[in-house]
Amino acid sequence: MREKFARWIAFGTGALVLFMALFFAVLQNGLPSGAPSGATTPAPEVSPEDSQIIAKGRAIYEDQFCAACHSIAGEGNTRVPLDGVGSRLSAEEIHLHIAPPDALREKFPASVFEAKKAFRELPPEEMEALVKYLESLR
Amino acid sequence: MIRKAILWGLLYVALVLAPLLLVFSGARPPGRGFWSDAAIALGYAAMGMLGIQFVLTARFRRATAPFGIDIIYYFHRYVALVMLAFVVVHAGILLAENPAIFKASSLSLIPRHFLWAALSFVLLAVLIAASLWRKEFHISYELWRRTHGVASVAVLLLALAHVESTGYYLHIPWKSTLWTIITVSWLALLLWVRLIRPWLLSQKPYRVSEVRVEHGRACTLVLEPEGHAGLSFTAGQFAWVTLGTSPYSLQEHPFSIASSAANPARLEFTIKDLGDFTHTIKDTPVGTRAYVDGPFGVFCAEQHEDAGGYVFIAGGAGIAPVASMLRTMAERGEKRPLYLFYGSRNRDSIILREECERLAGLLQLKVIHILQEPPENWKGETGYLTQEILGRVLPADLAGLDFFICGPVPMIQVAERALANLGVPLGRIHTELFDLV
């Protein structure tokens, strides 16, 4: 009987912890079927040349399987969404996030940093296109 | 007691969630998706629960006193299952979101944090299985105790390695402070259990003054204090006894104190031979050093002074705490009606048989032996304890009686159910379980 009492307390606290974990997730993200995080501002005017570069950037995003770790508008790995990244980070910062130098190792989980080393090999025009594409996400 | 339980339960939840709540006290990291964040929160919660498991079993008397230490141990076991479930959900969600791990063609491509997690999880599962099914796996209590301590520390360290290598939530404010507090607390805990408490025990040594062979393959160990007043306890409590080794070895076993509480300077432990350690007790030389950590437990008649009478239901070695209560009552001139339902294999195996007769002469005590193998001409009860026996022997009006049950698990289950059927309120039924693991 005392055992049953202890069981109730244990499962009760477990349920409370579970609830708090879900509550935390809601606070960080809204409800699962709700709107994506990140503020949106109207996109600025885009010139024809820019829209070509952005299209190229989108293709590179797909070629490099960025969706393995990132999502845009709910597509891909929702763990690290990139919606609105253009409003949050400057072009320079986006570049540093795609291919961080060794000095920024601390800012990423070890496995992520290792994986991103591959993007240092991206030709400069491709990197620029990719950054332009991500910049356009506002 | 319910209110106390809720308060301590809330404290527990607060401690478990503290690291997570701190995430909110500064610039929040961006949301990573509802399910990912829920999974990560559960991971952190499991981590918190793992740390507190060590606190629960450190035997802090003040923390265990509101409940009785047996509830703390039950809680420790059930909460371990909750923690395991959280880890499974945590891993399940994260693996479902990132199945690339399964496509890794070699071990070196698997992220380090995943390997730490896998190791920690496997060890945790083995640890829990060994505790739940120690007897089925034929693991001796001593081996179990030693490996459980080492394995749980390993699980914790591997889990910490996992958390560190994921690098999530790197920018929690006061992270280093929190880290320092947690590490220092945990080290202090280790220090208490491994060094300070054993040292305190070593300052109050006992010596074996007598080893008495009893009926029913039991023996009574008598300890007397050396240079101190002994142990003040309430009849029905138990203590951890270290026999013939240093208290730093942590080779201790819990035994109920069977002697009268009126005499703290003489402790008797009546122990049944169940193999491993208990088998060696009868060969302990007189004069052997011993140490006693206690008292613990709330299986005490004295805690229910408002009863109109007491009913004791004992089986086998369960007679020990009951004997303590009856002996203490005899010395204090207890006048209220007492019943003892005592189950044994046969007449010759009734542990403390003569003592029961002696006490029946000193108290208003009715002793009802229940024998599985009665001798010829036995006019008493036979077989096992049943509701029918209880109903027949006890007075029709059970109001005001407090019931104390201590014995093998099946007997306890029968007794509890029988008393419930007889209308005895839960608050008046008290049980002591010997076989926690």
Q: Does A118 touch chain B (CB under 8 A)?
A: no
pLDDT of residue B332: 94
* Exposure class string for B126-147: b at 16+ Cβ within 10 A, else e: ebbebbeebeeeebebeebbee
> Which position has the token pair 């371990």?
B80
Closest residue, chain A, to B86 (C-alpha):
A18
Q: Are B245 and B383 within 8 A, CB to CB?
A: no
Distance from A23 to chain B by nearest Cα, in Å?
Answer: 8
Chain B positions in Cβ-Cβ contact with residue A27 (cut-off 8 Å): 24
Number of helices and strands (H, E) in chain B? 13, 12
Supply the mean pLDDT for chain B: 88
Decide which of B432 and B226 is more confident.
B226
d(CA B80, CA A10): 9
Output phi, psi for B405, to 5 deg: -120, 130
Planar angle of CA A20, A23, A28, nearest 5 degrees? 130
Closest residue, chain A, to B99 (C-alpha):
A68
pLDDT of residue A39: 39
pLDDT of residue B20: 73
Q: Are B115 and B251 within 8 A, CB to CB?
A: no
Lowest mean pLDDT among B146-150, B162-166, B342-346: B162-166
Q: Which amino acid, residue B246?
A: S
pLDDT of residue B106: 67
Structure confidence at residue B252 as a pLDDT band (50, 70, 90)? confident
Decide which of B297 and B268 is more confident.
B268
What is the crossing angle of helices B34-56 and B175-191, to 10°? Answer: 30
Q: Are B316 and B351 within 8 A, CB to CB?
A: yes
Beta carbons of A9 and B416 less than 8 Å apart:
no
Planar angle of CA B160, B166, B167, nearest 5 degrees? 95
Beta carbons of A3 and B24 less than 8 Å apart:
no
Lowest mean pLDDT among A48-52, B59-63, B278-282: B59-63
Planar angle of CA B130, B131, B136, nearest 5 degrees? 60
Structure tokens at B159: 């889990």
Distance from B57 to chain A by nearest Cα, in Å?
Answer: 14
Q: Are B217 and B272 within 8 A, CB to CB?
A: yes
Q: Are B53 and B97 within 8 A, CB to CB?
A: no
Burial class (CB in 10 A: 0-12, 13-18, 19+), B423: exposed
- Three-state DSSP at B244 gives coil
Planar angle of CA B249, B67, B147, nearest 5 degrees? 30
Q: What is the DSSP string of B288-326?
A: -EEEEEEEE----GGGGTT-SEEEEEEEGGGHHHHHHHH
Percent of chain A with pLDDT over 90: 12
Structure confidence at residue B211 as a pLDDT band (50, 70, 90)? very high
* Exposure class string for B97-124: b at 16+ Cβ within 10 A, else e: bbebeeeeeeeeebbbbbebbebbbebb
Task: State the DSSP code for B338.
Answer: E
Asked if pLDDT for residue B52 goes beyond 60, the answer is yes
Distances (CA, A) of B421 to A1, A67, B312, B414: 15, 63, 17, 11
pLDDT of residue A35: 40
d(CA B235, CA B305): 13
Lowest mean pLDDT among B15-24, B68-77, B136-145, B309-318: B15-24
Of the residues B82, B303, B414, the best mutation for testing chain A's interface (the one with the most A CB atoms within 10 Å of its CB) is B82
Lowest mean pLDDT among A49-58, B195-204, B300-309: A49-58
Q: What is the mean pLDDT of residues B333-348?
A: 95
Q: Provide the CA A38 distance to its chain's centre, in angstroms.
A: 10
Q: What is the DSSP string of B351-383?
A: TTHHHHHHHHHHTTEEEEEEESSPPTT--SEES
Asked if pLDDT for residue B108 goes beyond 90, the answer is no
Q: What is the mean pLDDT of residues B71-76?
A: 87
Distance from A48 to chain B by nearest Cα, in Å?
Answer: 33
Beta carbons of A110 and B165 less than 8 Å apart:
yes
Chain A positions in Cβ-Cβ contact with residue B42 (cut-off 8 Å): 18, 21
- Three-state DSSP at B31 gives coil
Q: Which residues contact B168 (CB under 8 A, 6 or more apart)?
A: A109, B40
Q: What is the mean pLDDT of residues B414-435?
A: 88
Structure confidence at residue B358 as a pLDDT band (50, 70, 90)? very high
Distance from A49 to chain B by nearest Cα, in Å?
Answer: 32
- Three-state DSSP at B265 gives coil
Closest residue, chain B, to A20 (C-alpha):
B17
Asked if pLDDT for residue B258 goes beyond 70, the answer is yes
Mean pLDDT per 10-residue segment, chain A (138 residues): 83 92 83 48 62 86 77 74 87 90 84 81 89 88
Distance from A76 to chain B by nearest Cα, in Å?
Answer: 9
Percent of chain B with pLDDT over 70: 89
pLDDT of residue B190: 85
Ramachandran region, residue B50 (left: φ > 0; alpha: ψ -120 to 50; beta: rest): alpha
Q: What is the mean pLDDT of residues B62-80?
A: 79
Q: Strand pairing partners for B309?
A: B401
Cβ-nearest to B34 among A5, A9, A25:
A25
pTM: 0.71
Decide which of B267 and B28 is more confident.
B267
Q: Are A121 and A113 within 8 A, CB to CB?
A: no
Q: Strand pairing partners for B271?
A: B219
pLDDT of residue A88: 86
> What's the ipTM?
0.72
Cβ-nearest to B17 among A17, A31, A69:
A17
What is the 3-state composition of chain A as percent helix, strand, coil, each rounded to the nearest 5? 65, 5, 30
Q: Does A12 touch chain B (CB under 8 A)?
A: yes
Decide which of B279 and A35 is more confident.
B279
d(CA B21, CA B29): 13
Decide which of B283 and B60 is more confident.
B283
pLDDT of residue A63: 75
Structure tokens at A67: 């969706």
Q: How many CB atoms lie within 10 A of CB A122?
A: 16
How many residue pairs bridge chain A and chain B with CB atoms within 8 Å of each other? 140
Structure tokens at B143: 């081996």
